[in-house]
Every structure is written in structure tokens, then in C-alpha cells.
């Protein structure tokens, strides 16, 4: 019998607890182990932001090639999220966590020990793919282990993990490079994953059971665990045709933009294949008919993608400004971003606790707060010396808003998704976030570089205001959803 862990074939509404639900006494420790793994995978998205100059010098290569170390991880990450979520739905979260962890440890070791930039890039792609197997297991676990307000608390902790991993990455990166040295210190950004990953691997083996039941009844038919491989390939081709040109444009290339033509072609093919698969009674990669019938899912998908489009580039260009524009060391730049992490740490768990009462109004308020903070950074920080009296309070305000976006949006977006689809639906949501993050990083860095020809201050101001505009699109979607919810 296959390890079909955490599978509960039921659909719940945001405020209704199913009569058959029995809380698993191990649910919080299981969540704790999975969030450590998720933190490690998400940390590697941002930890390299402060290492770009030292990596370029240590590997004796161009800025365009080094950009692959940053963007290649995000590319492979985005390609594997939905498939990783579906594999977890079908074969169990524990099994996917173990496979993903082993691959992540091996690839992290390969990045840290690689003798040349070509092997660094290849290993970094494998590391991103491993992270794509690991990350969707978090949302899938929460969907299946928690109900009601407890689910809000669990997603609040997950939102805190996402926010803190994004914001604290540059700080940890700066500390590690300062301790290990500029030339080869960047290697320890990846090698540090090895002992953490091994400890997490042991924790999964010891603490996460092979099967977790969330229901007092175990009836039902055996699940069809077949994986929709053609659907996964078509979705992967769609994401690749979108992300690859973005990655290459950051390096100054234009020819890969032709691949964008493949986005609607492969996207249409994916939708058509999924419909055909569902009609034949086989399990699709994503049950599009079901997700389309859930009122909050598509809107939440759009809000998450648009938010990450603006959010990710804000921290990246601020880090570049502090290092390249003001000449700060990686550690100094990282420490100046701490207020953003502190604000996120304060607001994320509170948002998860109160989202059941406030609904999407909470997301609207959080997005408005973040936009205000980013605009204040753009208007007040450039041109001041010292910079920290202006940067700290404005980044704190932006962090307070940012921390209250991710977890409430995930709670409301996945509220009515059946637990048996929790991994795939959560993977699709996070794929949108990864696509948004890649687009946003490319757009804001490009704006920063073009406007920065005049001065670094002008570049920062233009890039941050662009990021605020992008986040405002997410705000518009959240307001629209709130009005629809009120009208209903």
C-alpha cells in the first residue's frame, strides 16, 4: 500500500468545522518541522542578494552570469512547485519532504564546493528544483491538519516564515560573508544548509509519522495516485516560456523574448489537457473546474502574484543601493534591512489570528500600509547621510504591512480547497508568487540601473516608486474582492 499520508477527501468552508474532524495531537510539532524546512528553502531566494558583488569577484565572471545564480534558483523553484504539491497530495508529505531534503542538501554542497561558475549555476538550478518539491508541503500540511481558527494561527506562522525568510536573508548573508571573508565567504551561504538540512532530515524521520489522520472516520474509496505527467510538462513549458526570457533580459539579452509566444500556446494546451484528463475520470495536475468554482481562489492567486511582483524587487534594489550606491559592506546593508523583518515578525502572526474576523479588509489595509512605507522610503531616504534615521522607520512601516499580506491571502485563497488538493493548489499559488517575484526583480533592477545612470539616489527613488505602483495593482484586486464579498 502506498504512503498516502494526510489525505482527507472533504471540502470545508472558512468558518465551518467538519463533524468528523479530530485534531491530531502531533499537528503542531509536524508543522514546526515543516516550517524549518520551508524557511531554509525560502531563505535561499534572498540570502544571495548581498553576495552578488563578492560572487562576481570570487568567480571572476560577469554580472550577467552571476545573475543566473539568483534568477536560476527562482526559475527552477517556480517550475517544480505545482508538480511537487501534486506529488505530496498523491504519495504523502513525509516522503516528498525526505526526497526534497536529500536533493537540497546535495545540491547546496555542490554549489558551495563548485570550482567554476558553470557548475555553480547548474547546482543552483538543482537546488531550486529541490526547494520546489519542499515548499508546497507546508500549505498542504496546514490544509489537512488544521481547521477553523487554528488554521488561521498555523497560516499566520507560515506567513511569518515567508516574510522573515525574505527579509532576514540579506542580514544572514552579510554576517556570513563578514565572518568568512569577501572572496570565498559566499560559498558558506550554501554550505550552511548542509548541517541544517541534515538536522531537519533527522527530525522528519523521527517526528513526522508515515500517516496522519485528521478524521475520525476512515471510509472512502482508495485514491487514484497517478501523476498527470503530460499536464506537468505542459505547465512547466508555460512557466519556462515566461520566466526564462525574464531571467535573460536581466543579463541584457533580447532574443529569448521570442519564447513569450509559447506562454499562451502551452497555457492553452495545459488547460485543454486538464479538462480532458478530468472528463476521463483520471486525477488532473490541477482540477481547474473545481478551482474555478471556488470564489476566492483566482482572486487570491492574482493578489499574491501582483504583491510579490512589487515586494521582491523592493528589498533587492534597496540592498544594491546601500552597497553599490553608498559603498556599504554586505553586513551593514543587511543590518539596515532588519526593521523590515521586525515589522513583518510583529504583524504576520497577528494577521493570521484575526483574518477570520476581518476577511479581505485586512489584506486591503496591509497592502495600503506597505505601499505607504515604500513610498516614504523612496521620498525620504535618497540624499540623506546618515541614511539609517530615515530608512529604519519607513522600512518598519513597510514591513508591518508586508507581514500582514501573505498569511491572510493564503488562508482566504485556500479556504475552500479540499485537503486532498491542498498541495497542488498551494503549489499553484506559490508558483504565481515565484513568477511575480522574478518579474518584479527584473523590472525594478532594470529601472534602478537605467535611472541610476544619473545618480544612485535617482535610481532608488524610481525603482521603489515603480514597486509601489506594482503593489497597488494587488491592492486594486483586493479591494475588488472585498466589494464582491460585501455585495454577496
pLDDT for residue 251: 59
pLDDT for residue 64: 65
pLDDT for residue 172: 82
Query: Which whole number is the average pLDDT over 457-478?
Result: 91
Q: How many CA atoms lie within 13 A of 386 on its CB side?
A: 7
For 293-312, write each residue's pLDDT tens digit. 776 788 888 898 899 888 87
With beta carbons less than 8 A apart as the criterion, state whether 310 and 464 touch.
no
pLDDT for residue 375: 94
For 153-181, write each residue's pLDDT tens digit. 887 788 778 777 776 777 788 788 888 87
User: Has residue 5 got a pLDDT over 70?
Assistant: no
Neighbouring CB atoms inside 10 A of 254's CB total 9
For 53-71, give the DSSP string: HHHHHHHT--HHHHHHHHH
Closest residue by Cα to residue 22 from 144, 142, 158, 137: 144
CA distances 389 to 65, 81, 375, 381, 382, Å, are 36, 40, 16, 9, 12
For 254-273, write each residue's pLDDT tens digit. 777 788 898 889 989 888 88
pLDDT for residue 20: 62
With beta carbons less than 8 A apart as the criterion, state whether 423 and 140 touch.
yes
For 47-63, write each residue's pLDDT tens digit. 876 777 778 777 877 76
| Helix orientation angle between 63-91 and 27-46, rounded to the nearest 10 degrees | 160
User: Has residue 368 got a pLDDT over 70?
Assistant: yes
Q: How many CA atoms lie within 13 A of 231 on its CB side?
A: 24
Query: Which whole number is the average pLDDT over 479-483?
Result: 82
Q: Is the dihedral of CA 255, 111, 141, 282 positive or negative?
A: positive
Query: Which whole number is the average pLDDT over 134-144?
Result: 82
* pLDDT confidence tier of residue 280, bands split at 50, 70 and 90: confident
Percent share of the chain, pLDDT over 90: 14
Neighbouring CB atoms inside 10 A of 292's CB total 10
Judge residue 435's burial from the number of C-beta atoms within 10 Å of its C-beta, 0-12 exposed, 13-18 middle, 19 or more buried.
buried
Place of cell 539579452: 253
pLDDT for residue 254: 72
For 300-344, write each residue's pLDDT tens digit. 888 988 998 888 788 888 888 888 888 887 778 778 888 888 888
484: its cell numbers: 464582491
Interior/surface letters 19-33, b for 16+ CB within 10 angstroms, e for the rest: eebeebeebeebbeb
Residue 151 CA to residue 23 CA, distance in Å, equals: 11
Place of cell 470545508: 12
For 441-459, write each residue's pLDDT tens digit. 778 888 888 887 778 888 8
3-state secondary structure of 215: strand
Query: Which whole number is the average pLDDT over 5-20?
Result: 39
Domains and CATH numbers, the chain: 27-210+285-487 (1.20.1250.20)
Q: Which long-range contacts (CB under 8 A, 24 or more apart) does 238-242 make?
A: 238/262, 238/263, 238/266, 238/267, 238/270, 239/78, 239/79, 239/431, 239/435, 240/75, 240/79, 241/266, 242/435
For 96-165, give the DSSP string: HHHHHHHHHHHHHHHHHH-SSHHHHHHHHHHHHHHHHHHTHHHHHHHHHH--HHHHHHHHHHHHHHHHHH
Residue 299 CA to residue 412 CA, distance in Å, equals: 10
Helix (H) or strand (E) holding 404, with range, is none
| pTM as predicted | 0.75
pLDDT for residue 319: 82
For 216-256, write each residue's pLDDT tens digit. 333 344 455 667 788 888 888 888 888 778 766 665 667 77
pLDDT for residue 211: 63
For 347-364, write each residue's pLDDT tens digit. 888 887 788 778 888 999
Phi, then psi, of 215 in degrees rounded to 5: -135, 150
Comparing 427 with 372, the larger pLDDT belongs to 372
Percent share of the chain, pLDDT over 70: 88
pLDDT for residue 1: 37
User: For all residues of the chain together, what is the average pLDDT?
Assistant: 80
pLDDT for residue 219: 39
For 441-488, give the DSSP string: HHHHHHHHHHHTTT-HHHHHHHHHHHHHHHHHHHHHHHHHHHHHHHH-
* pLDDT confidence tier of residue 101, bands split at 50, 70 and 90: very high
Amino acid at each position: 500500500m502506498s504512503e498516502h499520508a494526510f489525505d482527507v477527501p472533504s471540502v470545508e468552508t472558512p468558518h465551518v468545522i467538519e463533524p468528523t474532524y479530530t485534531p491530531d495531537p502531533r499537528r503542531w510539532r509536524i508543522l514546526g518541522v515543516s516550517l524549518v524546512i520551508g524557511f531554509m528553502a525560502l531563505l535561499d531566494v534572498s540570502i544571495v542578494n548581498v553576495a552578488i558583488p563578492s560572487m562576481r569577484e570570487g568567480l571572476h565572471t560577469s554580472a550577467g552570469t552571476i545573475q543566473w545564480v539568483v534568477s536560476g534558483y527562482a526559475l527552477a523553484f517556480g517550475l517544480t512547485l505545482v508538480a511537487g504539491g501534486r506529488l505530496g497530495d498523491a504519495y504523502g508529505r513525509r516522503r516528498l519532504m525526505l526526497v526534497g531534503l536529500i536533493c537540497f542538501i546535495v545540491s547546496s554542497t555542490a554549489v558551495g564546493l563548485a570550482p567554476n561558475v558553470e557548475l555553480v549555476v547548474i547546482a543552483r538550478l538543482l537546488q531550486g528544483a529541490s526547494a520546489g518539491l519542499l515548499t508546497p508541503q507546508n500549505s498542504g500540511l496546514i490544509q489537512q491538519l488544521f481547521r477553523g481558527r487554528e488554521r488561521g494561527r498555523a497560516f499566520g506562522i507560515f506567513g511569518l516564515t515567508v516574510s522573515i525568510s525574505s527579509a532576514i536573508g540579506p542580514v544572514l548573508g552579510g554576517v556570513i560573508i563578514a565572518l568568512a571573508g569577501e572572496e570565498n565567504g559566499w560559498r558558506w551561504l550554501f554550505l550552511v544548509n548542509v548541517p541544517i538540512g541534515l538536522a531537519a532530515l533527522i527530525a522528519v524521520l523521527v517526528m513526522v509519522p508515515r500517516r496522519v489522520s485528521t478524521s475520525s472516520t476512515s471510509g472512502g474509496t482508495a485514491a487514484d495516485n497517478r501523476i498527470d505527467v503530460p499536464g506537468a510538462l505542459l505547465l512547466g513549458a508555460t512557466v519556462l516560456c515566461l520566466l526564462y526570457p525574464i531571467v535573460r533580459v536581466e543579463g541584457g539579452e533580447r532574443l529569448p523574448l521570442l519564447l513569450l509566444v509559447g506562454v499562451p500556446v502551452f497555457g492553452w494546451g495545459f488547460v485543454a489537457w486538464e479538462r480532458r484528463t478530468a472528463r476521463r475520470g483520471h486525477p488532473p495536475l490541477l482540477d481547474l473546474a473545481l478551482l474555478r468554482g471556488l470564489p476566492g481562489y483566482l482572486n487570491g492567486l492574482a493578489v499574491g502574484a501582483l504583491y510579490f511582483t512589487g515586494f521582491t524587487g523592493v528589498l533587492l534594489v534597496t540592498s544594491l543601493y546601500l552597497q553599490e550606491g553608498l559603498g556599504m559592506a554586505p553586513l551593514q546593508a543587511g543590518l539596515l534591512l532588519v526593521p523590515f523583518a521586525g515589522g513583518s515578525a510583529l504583524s504576520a502572526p497577528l494577521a493570521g489570528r484575526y483574518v477570520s474576523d476581518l476577511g479581505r479588509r485586512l489584506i486591503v489595509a496591509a497592502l495600503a500600509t506597505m505601499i505607504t512605507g515604500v513610498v516614504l522610503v523612496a521620498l525620504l531616504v535618497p540624499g540623506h547621510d546618515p541614511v539609517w534615521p530615515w530608512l529604519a522607520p519607513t522600512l518598519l512601516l513597510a514591513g508591518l504591512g508586508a507581514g500582514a499580506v501573505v498569511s491572510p491571502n493564503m488562508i482566504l485563497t485556500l479556504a475552500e480547497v479540499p485537503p486532498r488538493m491542498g498541495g497542488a493548489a498551494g503549489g499553484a499559488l506559490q508558483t504565481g508568487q515565484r513568477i511575480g517575484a522574478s518579474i518584479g526583480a527584473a523590472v525594478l533592477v532594470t529601472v534602478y540601473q537605467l535611472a541610476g545612470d544619473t545618480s544612485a539616489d535617482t535610481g532608488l527613488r524610481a525603482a521603489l516608486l515603480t514597486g509601489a505602483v506594482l503593489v497597488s495593482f494587488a491592492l486594486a484586486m483586493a479591494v475588488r474582492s472585498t466589494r464582491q464579498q460585501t455585495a454577496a
